[in-house]
Copies of this chain bind each other. A is one copy, B any other.
């Protein structure tokens, strides 16, 4: 096991009716910025419940945070918050709204150009406190201190993180997610699954607790993912799906182990360039990356095939474990090859060029060079068997 630091002070209120905890949590604050997305919360009743819980406070609304939240949008919220001397921000939404809100709360007290936080990786020392009400389980942003922000002007997508942007609390009420469209739930299952794989499918590091926690999340996603897609109103299925997503990226399973994250880095580019949903990009890149890097990941792939996919000794190969993974993504309804999204191998050359320009070498072994990325994209361009 490697040395590590673990710290996660997010307070979780989990379950139906937990929105009632909101008023106590925000009692010290007076001027609240309420951030949300495209307005689905106004149709499914969540908005009303939140507004009721905020009774007596000055509430300034900022809706319209889009999927893959954009600097160009968020900077307007920063201005609005500064004008209104906002002392707390409440994010109601999924990963995009929460990620966007992390950028907003970090930017409000930031002196200088906020985009530098993301592009130049400037350390965020202070931020306005914020909480979240989760409506779309997937990214784990409700219980971590990271965020991914896009800039339309340059077709870029970058991540940043700081202990200053941990939510103070997150309300996770499964009933708030009942009205989600099927494809968003499917994307969420893949996103959470990929988060676990990034921290698990690397090389053995003698960390059995972390391995078993990771495997437990993967097994649960395999078990409840397809079912919660078909039965959106089954409370327990949805609850277990949500807790899987949160546990997948709250820092716990990465303690003491090597991590990869190359699939996410490549996937971010596919989103930035072609507008593909984040979950969809992961479903495309992961099988191709695992196949390309199979020699370096063989030990963990075999463990994964055996413990997560229950492959018997005679069926157990790394390739079979990869096949099961891609099949799982496809059974959830995601298309796992670039041509299925109208993208050719040639279209992806920009990605390789960008990685070359940035000097990025990715992966747990620091051996996923731009050349390797090219090969991975080549594999992702082949038709599914």
Contact = CB atoms under 8 A, between A and B. Distances in A.
Instruction: Kindly report how many copies of this chain are found in the complex they form together.
Output: 2
A13 interface: yes
A243 B3 CA distance: 12
A4 B8 contact: no
A306 to B, nearest CB: 13
Contacts of A18: 3
A209 B243 CA distance: 8
A17 B2 CA distance: 12
A4 B15 contact: yes
Nearest to A235: B1
Given A4-B14, A5-B13, A15-B3, A220 B240 contact: no
A224 B256 CA distance: 17
Interface residues of A, number: 42
Interface in A1-30: 1-18, 21
Interface in A233-267: 236, 239-240, 243-244, 247, 252, 255-256
A206 B236 contact: yes
A282 to B, nearest CB: 21
Interface in A118-144: none
Interface in A187-222: 206-209, 211-213, 215-217, 219-220
Interface string A139-152: 00000000000000
Given A6-B14, A206-B240, A209-B244, 5 more contacts: A1-B236, A5-B13, A5-B14, A208-B223, A252-B252
Enumerate the 3 nearest inter-chain pairs by beta-carbon distance, A residue then B residue, closest first: A212-B216, A3-B15, A9-B9
